[in-house]
Amino acid sequence: MAAAMPGDQRLTLVIGAGCSIEHPTGMPSGGDLAEQAHQKLTLTRVIQAVANPRDLSKVADAVKAANHGLQAALIDVLPIDEMRIAKPNSGYLIAAAMQIDRVVGSTVSLNYDQAGINAFSVLGAGGIKVVHGIADVGSIRPQNFVFLHGSAALPGEDWVIGTDALDGEWISTWREVVAQLVLTTPVVVFAGLGSPAALLTSTVSKIRAALPGQTASYLIEPAPGRSDFADALALQDGHQLTCGWCEFMDSCAEVLLGAHLQNVNNTLPVVRLQAGTVANADVESVFDSVRQMGLVGYGRLRASWQDASRGQEYPRHPVPGEPGLISIADLFQFIAELETWSGESVTVEDSGIVNVPTATGTKRVVLYSSPAATDFEEARTRALLRHSSLATSASGVIVVVAHSNPPRAVSPPADILREEDESSPDVLRGPDPTTVLFLPYVRDSVTLQEKVA
Amino acid sequence: MDDELGPVAASAFFAAACKALESTDYARVSPSATDRVTGPWSATFEDASSVVGVQAYESIDELIQGWPTAQSHLTDLISRFIEPSDPKAWDGYLVLIAPERVNEDQLDEIVAIQYNTSRVRKLVVTGDKIAIDQSLRIALSPLLPLSGVRRLPLRNSDDDFYADVERLIEDDGIEPELTRLLLVAYRNNEPLMSAIESHLVSAENGTDVPT
């Protein structure tokens, strides 16, 4: 679990078919996939029955033997479309979040399904190099998602699926080079792998021999008892953990989230010093709200606080020494202050809404941090765009803009279709304009504090 | 995106938009009036009643990301020289240009920008080499004089005005007698079709139409 701390990509994940079984990915296990394919292929007389129909590589060997070395007939009976659009389960989402936070350097997938990279799309994150085949190797980065055996995005003949390909054909190919490159990290975690993969076990042995005592391997195995893979990897005792993929990743997420919040907490004194904040605000209750939403939910919350560029909706969590950490700590401090001013417990949603209970109902406050904006006016425009969907209900919302220059007097109207003093909403013009406030001014003004809490 | 477009096309269409505005009553605001620059293809124009900011981008994505900065720039400029009570403060326009076709993913955001009524009105010009020329004309049409309409000088009397109108219509090749009859009918609040019918009947019979 120490490897799940914010750091410099010290962890590599190696994942297999077992990771794609859990809901909602719902792919069949390697054995089930092989058995289903075997049944179709024998029924259509493409192949004769094989001795072990639950071993996909043996089924592939039979298909190649019967089809002049071609394996397309096997690929044709596999659920290719389902593999391509496979929905990521929570384990995959957390793995993607950990890779964005640069805890995980690379993920090596032995699966053909694309649930692992689809997780990045679900989060709205980019910056990861996806390696499907040799054509992608030239542009490999410090952070990669490597399909070591090919993927559903490739033509069927490019899949590594037969025993020859799995056992020896990888030697001195790009696969061996990439495996050596990405597996050379202090910690490698293997999960969801059924049978030993020669490329992996051989590579890990070489790295371990070259860097004695500097690397550690762990195996995540749902069934108790030492597995064949553990033996093949020559794992130390205690390095095989008995738990499921999602359960393991949940634990990693809890550790990483705790580390992030600890870093935020350590930064609060700087925020209070800079802001001159004296409110005796209890940030711990805000941390509790964030712990409930989990690592991925916290990432979405941070995304709602900032203006992400297209395709980069899920922001990396800053580490100590980066100015972004002070900005995040400032927003935590402000939410805690909202609680102090209202005298009630506030709730934080991962959409960014802070619900502040008041005597007359609940006020909805959203925060927006915009250090890159040239002035408050630009930050205000971007905040309103970011939260435009919230303003469509009659109850309205209060947007608090942080980390921009202070607002100045503006001559053009807030809305060219609405008089400044029009207060009641109607169907044609829509709801009341959203109130936009400058965070430091709220801290300094009791009137504004009463407006938000 | 068409790779042949980009910087060259952005500068060309920025120049075209500036030329279209400068060919009318708009005057370009000196860059020294503002202390902020939002890129190489940025300019501000002003006439008696409105202020227009023009900003060109290389791509639609840049436009979507960058327009709040351009609006902030224009808003700041207007605010420094024009009081909120001045009607001109309500007549700000931001012309946003990108020489690229809008794809399906971008369409909602482009429409949202066009319908965004905060601070100033947004006029968005996008398209490929052929489409953008037309798009530019359409987008700038709220700012430019109506095409094909000749301006008449102010006249002291109705008679002078109608004499000018008669001359203009005559220039377009309409029969002078018919024009005169129609103007008389119009000024007397009589049906125009009856005047035309009388004129045609008279022409057929070779008689004069009473005025």
For residue A144, the domain's CATH number is 3.40.50.1220
A235 and A274 share one domain: no
pLDDT value at B1 more than 50: no
B37 and B84 share one domain: yes
Q: Enumerate the β-bridge partners of residue B125.
A: B97
> Which ranges of A79-162 does DSSP label H, i.e. alpha helix?
80-84, 90-100, 115-123
Minimum CA–CA partner of A388 in chain B? B112
Given a contact cutoff of 8 angstroms between Cβ atoms, the answer to whether A345 and A357 are in contact is: yes
Residue B114 lies in a domain: yes
Taking alpha carbons only, the member of A391, A372, A364 closest to residue A451 is: A364
pLDDT 10s digits, A9-18: 789 999 998 9
Given a contact cutoff of 8 angstroms between Cβ atoms, the answer to whether A197 and A20 are in contact is: no
Parts of chain A with a pLDDT under 50? none
A237 and A263 share one domain: no
Question: For chain A, percent helix, then strand, then coil, each to nearest 5?
Answer: 45, 15, 40
User: Averaged over B52-66, what is the pLDDT?
Assistant: 93
- Of A243, A275, A291, which marks where a domain is finished? A243
A345 and A406 share one domain: yes
pLDDT 10s digits, B82-137: 999 999 999 999 999 998 889 998 999 999 999 998 999 999 988 866 667 777 77
A309 touches chain B (CB under 8 A): yes
Residue A5 lies in a domain: no
A86 and A115 share one domain: yes
A188 and A274 share one domain: no
Residue B55 lies in a domain: yes
A212 and A265 share one domain: no
B22 and B118 share one domain: yes
A295 and A330 share one domain: yes
Q: Which two tokens stand for residue A414?
A: 């807030």
Q: How far is B151 from chain A (nearest CA, A)?
A: 30
- The beta-strand segments (E) located in chain B are 27-28, 42-46, 51-56, 92-98, 121-126
Amino acid at A304: S
A121 touches chain B (CB under 8 A): no
Using CB atoms, which residue from A374, A411, A415 is nearest to B118?
A415
Using CB atoms, which residue from A378, A408, A413 is nearest to B68?
A378
B62 and B103 share one domain: yes
A428 touches chain B (CB under 8 A): no
B49: containing domain? 5-143
B57 and B118 share one domain: yes
A194 and A323 share one domain: no
B166 and B116 share one domain: no
In chain B, % of residues over pLDDT 70: 83
Residue A393 lies in a domain: yes
Question: For chain B, percent helix, then strand, then coil, each to nearest 5?
Answer: 50, 10, 35
Residue A66 lies in a domain: no
Q: Note the pLDDT of residue A207.
A: 73
Q: Note the pLDDT of residue B3.
A: 45
Residue B28 lies in a domain: yes
Residue A123 lies in a domain: yes
- How many other C-beta atoms can be found within 10 angstroms of the C-beta atom of residue A244? 18
pLDDT value at B2 more than 50: no
- Residue B175: pLDDT band (50, 70, 90) is confident
Q: Note the pLDDT of residue A429.
A: 55
d(CA B136, CA B30): 23
The answer for A 399-418 residues in CB contact with B (under 8 A) is 408-418
Using CB atoms, which residue from A310, A381, A408 is nearest to B68?
A381
Q: Which two tokens stand for residue A86?
A: 């496979």
Residue B95 lies in a domain: yes
Q: Enumerate the β-bridge partners of residue A438.
A: A401
B36 and B100 share one domain: yes
Residue A49 lies in a domain: no
A344: containing domain? 259-452
Residue A448 lies in a domain: yes
B128 and B174 share one domain: no
Q: How far is B4 from chain A (nearest CA, A)?
A: 23
Given a contact cutoff of 8 angstroms between Cβ atoms, the answer to whether B110 and B64 are in contact is: yes
Residue A299 lies in a domain: yes
Q: Which residues of B195-209 are buried (b: 16+ CB within 10 A; e: fewer)?
A: beeebeeeeeeeeeb
Q: Which of B38, B75, B77, B85 to mutate to test the interface with A (most CBs of A within 10 A)?
A: B75
User: What angle, 0 to 180 degrees and rounded to 10, lies between the N-to-C axes of helices A90-100 and A115-123?
Assistant: 70
Given a contact cutoff of 8 angstroms between Cβ atoms, the answer to whether B13 and B36 are in contact is: no
Q: Note the pLDDT of residue A293.
A: 95
Given a contact cutoff of 8 angstroms between Cβ atoms, the answer to whether A436 and A386 are in contact is: no
Q: Note the pLDDT of residue A123.
A: 93
3-state secondary structure of A62: helix
Residue B152 lies in a domain: no
B32 and B96 share one domain: yes
A to B CB pairs, distance under 8 Å: 74
* Contact flag B75-A416 (C-beta cutoff 8 Å): no
Any idea which residue has 């709200």 for tokens? A289
Residue-by-residue DSSP string for A361-384: EEEEEEEEE-TTSSSHHHHHHHHH
Total number of domains constituting chain B: 2
pLDDT 10s digits, B68-80: 999 999 999 999 9
Minimum CA–CA partner of B68 in chain A? A378
* Contact flag A375-B76 (C-beta cutoff 8 Å): yes
A209 touches chain B (CB under 8 A): no
A201 and A314 share one domain: no
Q: Note the pLDDT of residue B72.
A: 94
A393 touches chain B (CB under 8 A): no
Q: Note the pLDDT of residue A2.
A: 60
Rounded alpha-carbon distances, angstroms, from residue B176 to B163, B171, B179, B199: 12, 9, 5, 12
Total number of domains constituting chain A: 2
B136 and B171 share one domain: no
- Of A211, A243, A275, which marks where a domain is finished? A243
Using CB atoms, which residue from B65, B72, B121 is nearest to A381?
B72
Residue A200 lies in a domain: yes
Given a contact cutoff of 8 angstroms between Cβ atoms, the answer to whether A145 and A109 are in contact is: yes
d(CA A359, CA A341): 13
Q: How far is A377 from chain B (nearest CA, A)?
A: 6
d(CA A31, CA A55): 6
pLDDT value at B211 more than 90: no
Q: Note the pLDDT of residue A425.
A: 56
A223 and A272 share one domain: no
Q: Which two tokens stand for residue B79?
A: 């605010």
B28 and B115 share one domain: yes
B22 and B72 share one domain: yes
A265 and A155 share one domain: no
- Of A243, A278, A297, which marks where a domain is finished? A243
A316 and A448 share one domain: yes
Minimum CA–CA partner of A382 in chain B? B68
Residue B106 lies in a domain: yes
User: What angle, 0 to 180 degrees and rounded to 10, lies between the N-to-C axes of helices A90-100 and A245-275?
Assistant: 40
